Structure 1
Amino acid sequence: MNWNKVKINKDSSEVKYQLVVNAINDSIANNILKVGERIPSVNDFSKEYKFSRDTVFKAFTILKNNGVIESIPNKGYFVSSNIKRVLLVLNTFKEYKQVIYNALIENLPKNFIVDLQFHHYSLENFKTIINNSKGKYYKYLVMNMDHVEVPEILSSINNDQLLLIDLNVQFSEHQNYIFQDFGQSFYDCLAKGVPLFKKYKQLVYVYPSYTYHPRESVVFFEKFCADFSFSYKIITDPKQFNVQKGNAYISVSERILSTFLKQCREKQYELGEEVGYLSYNETPMKEFINKGISVISTDFEELGKKAAEFIVNDNPVQLIIPTSLIIRTSL
C-alpha cells in the first residue's frame, strides 16, 4: 500500500504514539484528511510509516477515544470528526480575560475546541507550554511576555497559525497580532478627562511594583500631567497608599481598588466629589460598584471576536483595538 497523506515529523522529541496522534489531528485540521475518509489499518499504517504495531494501535485508540476517528467492523478506520483544536495561552487569570475568552468561544463554530493555559509571566512555563504544544493545534493564540527569548520560542510555530494578543512586545512586523496600546491611547483617554480632573488638587498614579502593566503608561502619564499642568504623584509601594481628600487616583491594580473603597468608607469621603478614581480595564462589575467606577479600557469583547475571525477565516490580521474612557460617578 502506498498511502502517505499524513506527514509525520520523526525528528520531533515527542513519544512515537503522540507523533501519530498529532499528525492525524493536524491533517484533519488542515483538510488533508476529510470527514468520512478511510485511513489505513493499524498494520498498513505501521508498515507505511515504519512504526511498531503497538505504537500505531495506541495512537488510534487515543484518536478513537477523542472521537476523531472510528472503526467500522469489516471496513476499517474512518475520519469521524473535523474538530479543530486551538491553544489559548494567557499570562494570568483576571476578570477582563474572562471577557476575551467568552467572546472567543461564542464566536467560534462548534467544531473548534479551545484549550486554555497560563504562563504566569514565567519564561520556563512559557517555554514548556509552547514546546509541548507544537504540532498539536490548528491555531495558537498567545498573550506574549516581555523577554528577549520569546521570539525564538515562538519561531517554531508557523506565522499563519500564530496570533499574538494584548501586549505589543517581542513581535515582528510579519506576525499576526491584535494588541491594545498602553501609551498614546492612554494619554488620549486622560486628555478627554481633563474637565473632571480639574476639580482635584493632585493626580496620583498608583503603579505597584508587582504589576506587569507596561511601563510606558507611566511615561505617558507624566507627559500628560506636564502638558496639562497637573500636580501629580506616582506610588509604587502599595503600603504607602493612603487616600487623601482632594486627590484623584488612577490605578492599574484591582487590589488597589478594594483598598481605595475601604479607605473612602472609613474616612467618609464622597467618591466623585472629595476624591476621584479611574481604573484600568473594564470588568462587568465596575459599572455597578459604588454607582459606577470610571475606567480606561480596551474593548475586550471585540478583541475576542477578532481573534475568532482569525481562527476561522485564515486571514492575516494586524490590529490595534481602540482604548476608550468610560466616565462614571467615581470621577
Structure 2
Amino acid sequence: MQLTINERSSTPKYRQIVEAVLHGIETGSLHRDEQLPSINELSEEFYLARDTVEKAYKFLKKEGIIQSVRGKGYFIRRESPDQLRVLLLMNKLSAYKKIIYYALLDELGPGTVVDLRLHHHDAAQFAHLIRENQDLYQYYVVMPHFYEQASRPVNLQALLAGIPSEKLVLLDKNIPDLTGNHVAVYQDFEHDLYEALEAGTDLLEKYQKLILIFPKDVHYPTDIVRGFRNYAIHHKKDFAILDTTNQYTIELHTAYIVLEDSDLAELVRQARQHGMILGQDVGILAFNETPLKEVLANGITVVSTDHEQMGRTAAQLMLSRRFEKIKNPFGLIRRGSL
C-alpha cells in the first residue's frame, strides 16, 4: 500500500489512510484477499496514533471494502477495482425522496455502494460533508436545495466547486450557470407548475379563488410561487399565498394548492368538519405523488414529477458515463379532490 501522510493537509489522517486504500484498489496495486499492514505496523511506520489507524480500518470495514479475520488481520474484500461508489447528498429524507433513493439503488444494482448523507438545507453542513468525503467516491449525487438569507445568499457555484464536474450529478434542480461537464436530472419548478395548472384549468374554473399554502419554515424553491402567481394572473383569478393552515378557516369555492402533508390533512379535516364536498364546494391540489394521496379522501389530485424515473435516469447516466442534462417528467394526476 502506497501511503504518504501529509501533516499539513486539512484532510484528517484517518481519511488519508482510507483514500490510500481506495486508490490502491482503483489502480490495481491492491487486490482482493491481499493482506493490509496491521494496526500496530501502520501506526509505528508512520508515527500515527493507534486510534487513527483503527478508525480508518473501521470505516473501510463498515463500507465493505476490507474485512478482518480473527488472528490473521485485515484483508481487501472489494470485488473489483471498478466497483462504483456513490455519495448521495439530500436536503432531507421525505416520502418522495425515499422513492428517488430506492429507484437509484435498484437501477445501479447490488454491486454499487451508495452512501446517503443529509445536509438539511445547510450550506455549511454540505461543505463539511464534501470536505470529509473528498476523493472517496466516483460520483457525488446532490440535491442543491439550501436556505437562502438576504444577508448571506448561497453561492451554489462556489459550494459545488469542491466536486469535480465529471463526478457531479445534480438531482431535482438544475443550475444553468454552473460550468463543467456534469449530469443533471431536474425539475423546472416555475414552468412545470404553470403547465400542470394549465392542464387542470377545466377543473379550476369552478373556483372563485386560488390559495397557495407555501410554508416559511420548510424550504421549497420560490420558483413554485412564481409559477402559481403567473397562472392566477394570466387566468384573472383572485389569489392569495399563505404560509400555514394554522388558525385558518377553510373557505367555500376556493381551490388550495398545498406542499406539506400536514396542511393537506388539516384542509381535509376542516372540509369534513364543515360538511364541504371536495371537488365541488372546495378544491385541493397537492404536490408530490405518494401512495397515501391516492387513497386519502377518495383520492387527492396531485401535481408531481416522476420521482422513480428521476432516480433511474440518474443511475443510467452514471452507469453509461453520459454527461447529459435531462428535464424529468412532471404532470397533473386527476382525482376527486379538485
What's the TM-score once normalised by structure 2's chain length?
0.83
Match of 1:156 in 2: 162
Query: In 2, Cα distance between the equivalents of 1:271 and 1:159?
Result: 48
Counterpart residue number, 2:97: 97
Cα separation, 1, equivalents of 2:19 and 2:219: 34
In 1, the alpha carbon distance for the partners of 2:117 and 2:332 equals: 30
Matched, 1:186 2:193: yes
CA–CA distance in 2 between the matches of 1:236 and 1:59?
46
Deviation at 1:215, TM superposition (A): 1.3
- Return the offset for 1:231: 2.3
Aligned partner of 2:11 in structure 1 is 14
Give the secondary structure class of the aligned counterpart of 1:134.
coil
Q: How many residues align?
A: 323
Is residue 165 from structure 1 mapped to residue 162 from structure 2 by the alignment? Answer: no
> Residues 9 and 308 of structure 1: is their aligned pair in 2 closer, same or farther, counting only changes over 3 Å?
farther
Which of the residues 294, 300, 317 maps onto 1:293?
A: 300
- Once the two structures are overlaid, the 10-residue window that deviates more, 11-20 or 302-311, is 11-20
- 2:11 maps to a residue whose letter is E
Alignment correspondent of 2:218: 211
User: Aligned pair in 2 of structure 1 residues 203, 291: CA closer, same or farther (>3 Å)?
Assistant: same
Q: CA offset at residue 70 of structure 1?
A: 6.0
Q: Secondary structure at the match of 2:262?
A: helix
1:88 paired to 2:85: no
Report deviation, 1:165: 1.0
Distance change >3 Å, CA 188–CA 162, structure 1 → 2: same
**Is contact 2:244–2:263 with CA below 8 Å preserved after alignment?**
no
Q: 1:301 to 1:218 in 2, by over 3 A?
A: same
Match of 1:51 among 31, 46, 54: 46
> Deviations 1:201-232 (Å, cap 9, x if unpaired)?
21112222223221122222222122222222
Any idea what the Cα deviations from partners look like across 1:21-50, whole Å, max 9, x if unmatched? 12322453x45457548577569x96xxx8
Moved more, 100-109 or 308-317: 308-317
Q: Which residue of 2 aligns with 1:136?
A: 136
Residue 255 of structure 2 aligns to a residue whose secondary structure is strand
Counterpart Cα distance in 1 of 2:195 and 2:97: 23
Separation in 2 of the partners of 1:60 and 1:229? 62
Distance in structure 2 (CA, Å) of the matches to 1:72 and 1:267: 67
Is 1:258 aligned with 2:265?
yes
SS for the counterpart of 1:12 is coil
SS at the partner of 1:287?
A: helix
Residue 67 of structure 1 and its aligned partner are, at CA, apart by: 4.3
User: Aligned in 2, Cα 1:39/1:319: closer, same or farther, shift over 3 Å?
Assistant: farther
- Give the superposition deviation at 1:117: 1.5
Report the residue type matching 2:337 in the other structure.
S
Deviates most, 232-241 or 270-279: 232-241
Distance 1:272 1:192 in 2: 16
Check conservation: 1:208, 1:238, Cα contact below 8 A: no
Match of 2:329 in 1: 322
Q: What is the correspondence of 1:64-79 to structure 2 with a 5 Å cutoff? A: 67-69=64-66, 79=76
Residue deviations 1:268-318, cap 9 Å, x none? 111111111101111121111111111111100001101222332322121
Structure-2 separation of matches of 1:306 and 1:155 = 24
Residue 272, structure 1, aligned to residue 279, structure 2: yes
- The TM-score, its normalising length taken from structure 1, stands at 0.84
**Matched residue type, 1:13:** S
Give unmatched runs, 5+ long, in structure 1.
none
What is the identity percentage for the equivalent residue pairs of Structure 1 and Structure 2? 30
